[in-house]
Amino acid sequence: MKFKVFFFVFFLVVFMSCTKENDSTIDGFIYSDFENNLKPDMTYDSIISQFGEPLDDIGSGIHIYVYQLTDSSEIWIGYTDKILYARHVDKNGQTIETII
């Protein structure tokens, strides 16, 4: 019986500690987080340091890093060896605001 309880507790602890590694919505970003902190001269490492791993990279030819905001809109950051643009977009991919 003790083994079953131990196994159950162990499984529960392991299961609870697993998180979706790439879920940038955990941070609860809002538009102003990017508007105030995203700078044109940021490197990839500084973007990751500031905002964490992007939810997705939807680019083809260039990287387009996607960060989901708490209101379900997104920030798309076009990047090669520097930031080419950053846009706040709605659920349909339509630009709401251009940040950079």
pTM beyond 0.75 = no
Band of residue 18 on the pLDDT scale cut at 50, 70, 90: low
Overall CATH class of domain 20-98: alpha beta
State the residue for tokens 């990287």: 63
CA atoms within 13 A on the CB side of 67: 27
What integer pLDDT is reported at residue 2 of this predicted model?
58
Which whole number is the average pLDDT over 54-58? 97
Give mean pLDDT, residues 36-52: 97
Q: Is the separation of the CB atoms in 67 and 74 below 8 Å?
A: yes
| Token pair 């790439």: residue | 22
Residue percentage of the chain with pLDDT more than 90: 72
> Rounded to whole angstroms, how far apart are CA atoms 98 and 100?
6
Q: What is the structure's pLDDT at 31?
A: 97
Domain ranges of the chain: 20-98
